[in-house]
Amino acid sequence: MKPSYFGDSYDIVKRSLLQWLSPFGPWKAHPMFTEPVDSLETKALSRFLGVPFVSEEVLRAGCDRPAYFQCCFRCESLFLDPDTGIRLKPIPPGKAIKYIFASELADIVKARPGWLTLVFDQSLARGSEEKQIREKLRYFARRGVHGFAYTAQASFVLLGQATTVRRARHSLLKASGLPNRRFVSLDLEH
């Protein structure tokens, strides 16, 4: 996340989703900052989102990524906010700071059974969003992680155990009033 974008329309969607999913908390957030940010900005962002941060550490090229994400393993429900989104395959360190890799995400989700993980995902190419999101959901399903995606200008993926994800999807649809067509899942329609 880039602090200079704080307050944009994506942040309003993030806040709304976290509020609608609050029954599945307590929620915490890892903003995945990619540039230095001062403590007043982080406090304002945390207050706006309505959730505490588990880390304010900057994700830098070439950093020890497993160590960077270690704080996520002791959370209950968790919101991850990468600059760009979820990437299925690793890329060079200079570009990697914009993403959470699917393998990292699967490890975080599986380490916290019974809890949810919400991830901002803007890595979907226009016109093929549904195809790409289904590919990501299949990746997670093969690893025993279930989920669904909310697809719009600001897209998100929600992951966890099948029963919890199914309940969260139902609750989110009811609380938000969003149209069902905005949600993509592999096996959670029922």
pLDDT at 157 over 90: yes
Please compute the mean of the pLDDT values over residues 44-53 and round it to a whole number: 95
Alpha helices in the chain (DSSP H): 9-20, 39-49, 65-68, 93-96, 102-110, 129-142, 162-176
pLDDT band at 187 (very low <50, low <70, confident <90, very high): low
Mean pLDDT over residues 174-190, rounded? 82
* pLDDT at residue 136 greater than cutoff 80: yes
Indicate if the pLDDT at residue 72 is higher than 80. yes
Backbone φ and ψ for 124, nearest 5 degrees, come out as -100, 125
Q: Rounded mean pLDDT of 158-178?
A: 96
Q: What is the pLDDT of residues 77-88, one digit of tens each?
A: 999 999 999 999
Measure the CA angle with vertex 61, ends 60 and 63; round to 5°. Answer: 70
- The encoded tokens of residue 106 equal 């699967």
Give pLDDT, residue 86.
96
Instruction: Find the mean pLDDT for residues 50-60.
Output: 96
Q: Is the pTM of this model over 0.85?
A: yes
What is the rounded CA–CA span in Å between residue 186 and residue 183?
Answer: 10
Confidence of residue 7 (pLDDT cuts 50, 70, 90): low
Question: Do 82 and 122 meet the contact criterion of CB atoms below 8 Å apart?
Answer: no
In whole angstroms, give the CA distance from residue 98 to residue 47.
23
Q: Structural domains in the chain?
A: 3-185 (3.40.640)
Q: For residue 189, is pLDDT > 70?
A: no
Residue of 16, 40, 159, 51 lying closest to 100 (CA atoms) = 159
pLDDT, position 190 = 38
